[in-house]
């Protein structure tokens, strides 16, 4: 499953899954999380350059990604773990000013979340390395990625910034994964106004 970036057909992201993140953005905490989709064309492998479109105020949201290893539908809680191949460390980049605009108009977030390079990901982490399974009631196929939501701590990203992130188990100082990306202003193309 190390090739999930090439193999996967969709990225499913969980919104407002962490109450602290919802509060820091002045959003209501929902009774249950909701999801949105990101295109796989937004993947960026570790060490790449995040391209920030002109006119966009970009924010980073560090997340744990769950890589699906076996497709399924109507999967029971007891069987959910058998569908998980492993994990990855991911950044859900957001064009925050664009997201604020589309939310006010009741439109989907896809444009604000789906730019090329707006889903930087790390290497595949086999599931045996992390013992934190999740229950999912959603149609998934081999190679798909689920972003589990953002804990507190989002922030702006401007051209020239270097984003580093790490993933570890609290009782262990060993890093499971790390990310390192540079942000640059995208030349040409889209201009958000």
Cβ-contact 163, 180 below 8 angstroms: yes
Domain that holds residue 85: 4-185
Confidence check: pLDDT of 127 > 50: yes
- Is residue 134 very low, low, confident or very high in pLDDT (cuts 50, 70, 90)? very low
- Residue 131 falls within a domain, yes or no? yes
Confidence check: pLDDT of 112 > 90: yes
> CA–CA distance from 64 to each of 42, 54, 55, 140, 170 (Å)?
16, 28, 28, 17, 14
State the Cα angle at 82 between 134 and 72, rounded to 5°.
Answer: 90
- Residue 192 falls within a domain, yes or no? no
Confidence check: pLDDT of 133 > 50: no
- Is residue 146 very low, low, confident or very high in pLDDT (cuts 50, 70, 90)? low
Confidence check: pLDDT of 144 > 50: yes
- What is this structure's pTM? 0.72
CA distance 88 to 178: 9
- Residue 191 falls within a domain, yes or no? no
- Is residue 172 very low, low, confident or very high in pLDDT (cuts 50, 70, 90)? confident
- Is residue 119 very low, low, confident or very high in pLDDT (cuts 50, 70, 90)? very high
CA distance 33 to 17: 5
CATH code: domain of residue 126: 3.90.850.10
- Is residue 137 very low, low, confident or very high in pLDDT (cuts 50, 70, 90)? very low
Q: What is the mean pLDDT of residues 10-21?
A: 75
Number of domains in the chain: 1
- Residue 154 falls within a domain, yes or no? yes
- Residue 128 falls within a domain, yes or no? yes
């Amino acid at each position: 499953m190390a090739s999930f970036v090439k193999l996967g057909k969709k990225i499913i992201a969980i919104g407002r899954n962490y109450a602290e993140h919802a509060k820091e953005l002045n959003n209501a905490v929902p009774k249950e999380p909701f999801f949105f989709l990101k295109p796989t064309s937004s993947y960026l492998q570790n060490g790449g350059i995040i391209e920030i479109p002109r006119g966009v105020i970009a924010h980073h949201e560090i997340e744990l990604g769950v890589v699906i290893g076996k497709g399924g539908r109507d999967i029971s809680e007891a069987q959910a773990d058998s569908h998980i191949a492993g994990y990855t460390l991911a950044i859900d980049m957001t064009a925050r000013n664009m997201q604020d605009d589309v939310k006010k108009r009741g439109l989907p977030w896809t444009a604000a979340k789906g730019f090329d390079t707006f889903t930087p990901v790390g290497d595949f982490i086999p599931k045996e390395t992390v013992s934190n399974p999740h229950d999912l009631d959603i149609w998934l196929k081999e190679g798909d990625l689920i972003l589990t939501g953002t804990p507190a701590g989002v922030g702006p990203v401007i051209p020239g910034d270097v984003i580093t992130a790490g993933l570890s188990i609290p009782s262990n100082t060993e890093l499971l994964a790390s990310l390192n990306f540079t942000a640059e202003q995208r030349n040409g193309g889209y201009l958000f106004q």
